[in-house]
Structures are given as structure tokens and as C-alpha cells.
Homo-oligomer: A and B are copies of this chain.
Amino acid sequence: MSPAVVLLSGGLDSAVTLAIAIAEGYVPYALSLQYGQRHRVEIESARRLAESLRVHDHRVAQIDLRVFGGSALTDDIAVPQQRSAEEMAEGIPITYVPARNTIFLSYALAWAEVLGASDIFIGVNAVDYSGYPDCRPKFLRAFEDLAAVATKAGLSGTRFEIHAPLLQLSKADIIRKGADLGINFGVTHSCYDPAQDGAACGVCDSCQLRLAGFRDAGLTDPIRYVSK
């Protein structure tokens, strides 16, 4: 039973990633990184998921990405809505946060080193998020190479492994996988722009991808939507 650090946003993808880490026999240490204003609801989801999946420990770190600006997820610029699949597939989305996964994995690496863990799980996906440079296999391999030389543990021969079990899965595959593993999707959250009461908007890129995924998987999404 090896410890593993699992990045847990509270979103659907990270929930399935956590369930996979547990199914693979790791002792899960969940790490949630709170940034910007839009994702407070996600942290609450993360707490409920961590509890329901009985993680060994759950830490929440505040990180301040708004200080730099540069993304719809951290700035006050509007989240794009009702874009077509073609528009979403084109180029890098405005919701791209500069160096986000680099920062996330750096924090995960710090905790892994403290715990003596060499395994880190992250729910990145190269299918739906093909526009994000830091969701690509070559980024993950470059981070492993960095971790090997960046740490005391690496100097002692530890080879950190970044697990991205969703990397090549479609959203429907991810949802089916999560359903097989018994995830309660009702506590997961994906919307970039939730209403005051926590209901998902139903129109942002993330809601559209989620809703299409449930449709393709032949399942019903149990979360509340303003419209869908």
C-alpha cells in the first residue's frame, strides 16, 4: 500500500481520478488548490468527495493566481458561453490559466516529498482539453524529469511518477469509468460560472462537455443546472 498524492478539484475528472487511484491500491492523500473567485463551490465538492471516498488525508492550500491575471478563470473577464464544439476545439481556450498545471504539480510534488510518496495523480485529459499545453503527455513526462532533479528524494533515487489515467479518455468514457467505480456524481462540480445557489450554468464549455458526456454515456447527470 503506497501513498499517492491526488489532485482533487472537486470536478468530475478529479473525482474519477481519485477513485482510480484507490482502485489501484494507493493510499490516497487528496490535495485541493483553491485559486481565484469562481471555484469556491469546487472546494466544497472536494471536501465532500474526500470524505465520501475516505481519503487518508485532505489538504486545501490557497494559491493566489489572480495576482497575475491572464485568464477568464482568475480575472474578472467573462467566461465564454454557448460556444460550438468546433469553436472549443480551435486554439487555446480563454479559460487557459498560465502555468496552472505546473503550479499544481509543484505543490503536489512538495507534499509527496514530505510524505515519502513517489506517485502523483492528476485528472488531466488530452481529448476534451486538446488546446491546453499542460494537458499533454510530453508536459507530464517533462515534469517527471524535473521532479527527479528538483528534490531531495530524487537525489536519493526516487523516480516520481505522474499518473494521468484519464489522459486519453473521452468525457463519456470518464463518466462510465466513474459510474463503474461507484462515484456519486451528485457531489462533483464542473461549471466555470455557477449561480449563487451553486447550480451549474449549463452553457459554459465545461458544462457543455459534461452534459454531452453524460448523454453519450447514456446516463443522467444528477447535479442541478440553471438551464440545460
Contact = CB atoms under 8 A, between A and B. Distances in A.
Interface in A93-147: 96-103, 106-107, 109-111, 113-114, 133-134, 136, 138-139, 142-143, 145-147
A133 B146 contact: no
Contact of A67 (B59, B101, B142): B59
- Size category of the A interface is 35 or more
A103 B107 contact: yes
A106 B109 CA distance: 12
**Copies of this protein in the complex:** 2
Contacts of A106: 99, 102-103, 106
A83 interface: no
A32 B100 CA distance: 18
B69 A114 contact: yes
Interface stretch (A151-159, A171-179, A188-196, A208-216): A151-159
B59 A62 contact: no
A23 interface: no
Nearest to A108: B99
Given A150-B134, A154-B133, A114 B63 contact: no
A89 interface: no
A102 B196 CA distance: 36
A99 B70 CA distance: 25
A96 B154 CA distance: 14
16 contacts: A62-B64, A68-B110, A70-B113, A92-B155, A96-B152, A98-B109, A98-B111, A101-B150, A102-B106, A102-B109, A102-B110, A134-B150, A138-B149, A142-B145, A142-B150, A143-B150
Given A102-B147, A133-B155, A142-B148, 7 more contacts: A63-B63, A63-B64, A67-B111, A99-B106, A103-B106, A139-B146, A142-B145
Smallest CB-CB A-B distances: 4 pairs = A70-B114, A99-B110, A98-B113, A103-B106
Interface of A: 59-65, 67-70, 92, 96-103, 106-107, 109-111, 113-114, 133-134, 136, 138-139, 142-143, 145-152, 154-155
